[in-house]
Amino acid sequence: MQDIVRVDLAERGYDIVIGPGVIAQAGARISALAGRRPVVVVTDDTVAPLHLPALEASLEGAGVRRNGPAIVLPAGEKTKSFAHLEALLDDLLGRGIERSTLLVALGGGVIGDLAGFAAAVALRGLDFVQVPTTLLAQVDSSVGGKTGINTRQGKNLVGSFHQPRLVLADTGVLATLSRRHMLAGYAEVVKYGLIDDAGFFAWLEEHGAAVCAGEPEALVRAVTVSCAAKAAIVGQDERESGRRALLNLGHTFGHALEAAVGYDDRLLHGEGVALGMGLAFDLSARLGLCGAEDPGRVRRHLDAIGLPTRLGQVAGVTWDTQELLGHMAKDKKVQDGRITFVLARGIGQAFTARDIDGREVAAVLDRAR
């Protein structure tokens, strides 16, 4: 039960292999890609004891040449920093890597983003493979080539577009995720239905609980549909000059919420996206762009699954509307000083908008508290 989705970028295109047991096959697939080139695995200290042995056994079984042991970084969003990027690059250069070296990123979005950025800048560009181990990474961050780190000014403000050569999404490893992290990833799955696939959103309303429970067929379908949706958008707009901006539904609000809590575990990225999607639909309804029933439908589904739908559900945080607006003003999608929002004319009818009155945004944030 495996699917393959192609990201069509001409000579830089690549496959996303999806299904249980993919890591067991990783050695053969990476060997076919790497040949005799040396490989360096980058992972974190949460993922390493769970999935590194299986990956290393697969690489060894396929005769993949390694350049030293795996590099194991601290887990968590704060690892996406200049300090850890520098440490990773020092380690790689200290091993005497060459431009033929292939990096393999084994982990969630943090490891994928950081290792991908390191691959983009080390020796002016190394090939790399994504082996995402969280639902969020499998359906979103491992696909499309956006890599980077966070700064104190905001999230993902330093980075590069650098496409992987292969993505290996083993849905079987998601059984090791906590319920909270599984739900956080599910928020990104919902996003694809809300952008332009009302039928997929309706399917999730019926089968989302099975997806989050790890039911194999439902999980593979959800990951495959999500990856196909993102691959189609990336194929049309690789560097986010137009349609790709739709993938930021919920993220303008969500990134501001994450910044306000200092990127700590009071609010996971997917939880911020869930809250942000509700706020985006609230703003759309307030502006008369979508029906008044649409925000309620979105929140009912997210709430039924167990994701936060109100800012007050985030423990230990006092939200300040002006602070949140300030974080939005530093978002990477700001153009000519105007914040770019992804709004909706209904379920599955997202579009980008600027020139939104800040007072309207403030009113939505005030009500959400």
Distance between CA atoms of residues 351 and 215, nearest Å: 32
Distance between CA atoms of residues 364 and 369, nearest Å: 9
**Catalytic residue, candidates 37, 162, 244, 333:** 244
**Catalytic residue, candidates 181, 191, 248, 327:** 248
Distance between CA atoms of residues 209 and 35, nearest Å: 42
CB-CB contact of 350 with 249 (8 Å): yes
240 catalytic, yes or no?
yes
207 catalytic, yes or no?
no
**Catalytic residue, candidates 251, 299, 301, 327:** 251
Q: Give the contacts of 333 (CB within 8 A, at least 6 positions apart).
A: 240, 245, 248, 252, 339, 340
248 catalytic, yes or no?
yes
Q: Which residues pair with 158 in a beta bridge?
A: 149
Instruction: Fill in the DSSP letter of residue 131.
Output: E
**Catalytic residue, candidates 56, 77, 188, 271:** 188
For helices 358-368 and 321-328, the axis angle rounded to 10 degrees is 130
84 catalytic, yes or no?
no
**Catalytic residue, candidates 181, 269, 301, 333:** 269
**Catalytic residue, candidates 37, 80, 146, 221:** 146
Distance between CA atoms of residues 139 and 27, nearest Å: 22
Distance between CA atoms of residues 330 and 334, nearest Å: 7
**Catalytic residue, candidates 80, 191, 230, 301:** 230
**Catalytic residue, candidates 77, 240, 258, 271:** 240
146 catalytic, yes or no?
yes
**Catalytic residue, candidates 11, 36, 124, 359:** 124
Q: Is 350 helix (H, G, I), strand (E, B) or coil?
A: strand
180 catalytic, yes or no?
no
**Catalytic residue, candidates 255, 301, 327, 333:** 255
152 catalytic, yes or no?
no
255 catalytic, yes or no?
yes
Q: Which residues pair with 161 in a beta bridge?
A: 146
Instruction: Catalogue the active-site residues.
Output: 124, 146, 188, 230, 240, 244, 248, 251, 255, 269
